[in-house]
């Protein structure tokens, strides 16, 4: 039995909005747990110091950059999120999952900016690296996924174009 247009639309929404909501909910839950169980500036190591949980706040964006301009950052990110949501259904389906991860993470961090005057809640600390959160992980994985999807699409397009050219020569 063939899939209907309604089934395709539902699977598209699921592919996009499920990761977005899952990331947002996991981000909120983990940040709430950390805020309720850790003191600011304390650190609890796990797995022999492989990583630790440490409550910190970040007013900047990735790795604390632009922390002196947090109001402009919030405005800029909010505009990007709005544009992203309004244009989401005009992008190819293969980008829905990674884009959903990016949007879910971005919503999680923007939500913090409105909820906490101190900034975004960060709590995962890895030695010799910056402190981050679940939303940051989702954004990073989503961006890597978008890059891989773009690369694969370009590769497929180039192969297809090469095949068409070689078939025309015959």
Mean pLDDT computed over 40-53: 90
Distances (CA, A) of 125 to 4, 28, 51, 56, 110: 47, 18, 6, 10, 20
Identify whether 136 is a catalytic site residue.
Answer: yes
27 is annotated as an active-site residue: no
Report the chain's C-alpha Rg in angstroms.
20
Domain encompassing residue 132:
5-169
Tally of domains within the chain:
1
- Determine the straight-line distance between the first and last CA of the chain, rounded to whole angstroms: 39
Tens of pLDDT along 89-137?
678 888 889 989 998 998 999 899 889 989 899 999 999 888 999 999 9
Count of CA atoms in the C-beta half-sphere (13 A) of 84: 21
Output 81 or 135, whichever has higher pLDDT.
Answer: 135
Return the higher-pLDDT residue of 163 and 49: 49
Catalytic residue among 7, 12, 27, 136: 136
- Which pLDDT score is estimated for 83? 76
Contacts for 74 with CB less than 8 Å, ≥ 6 apart:
110, 113, 114
Catalytic residue among 7, 71, 112, 122: 122
**What pLDDT shows up at residue 52?**
95
| Residue 134 near residue 64 (C-beta atoms within 8 A) | no
Q: What is the pLDDT of residues 56-80, one digit of tens each?
A: 998 766 555 545 555 666 667 677 7
Task: Give strand pairing partners of 54.
Answer: 43
């Amino acid at each position: 039995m063939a899939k209907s247009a309604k089934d395709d639309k539902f699977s598209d929404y699921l592919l996009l909005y499920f990761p977005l909501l899952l990331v947002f909910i996991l981000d909120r839950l983990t940040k709430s747990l950390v805020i309720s169980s850790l003191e600011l500036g304390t650190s609890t190591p796990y797995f022999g110091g492989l990583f630790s949980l440490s409550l910190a706040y970040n007013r900047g964006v990735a790795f604390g950059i632009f922390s002196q301009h947090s109001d402009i950052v919030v405005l800029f990110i909010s505009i990007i999120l709005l544009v992203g949501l309004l244009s989401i259904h005009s992008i190819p389906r293969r980008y829905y999952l990674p884009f959903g991860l990016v949007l879910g993470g971005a919503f999680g961090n923007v939500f913090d900016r409105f909820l906490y005057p101190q900034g975004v809640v960060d709590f995962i600390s890895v030695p010799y690296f910056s402190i981050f959160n679940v939303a940051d992980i989702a954004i990073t994985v989503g961006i890597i996924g978008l890059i891989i999807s773009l690369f694969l699409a370009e590769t497929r397009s180039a192969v297809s174009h090469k095949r068409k050219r070689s078939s025309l020569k015959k």
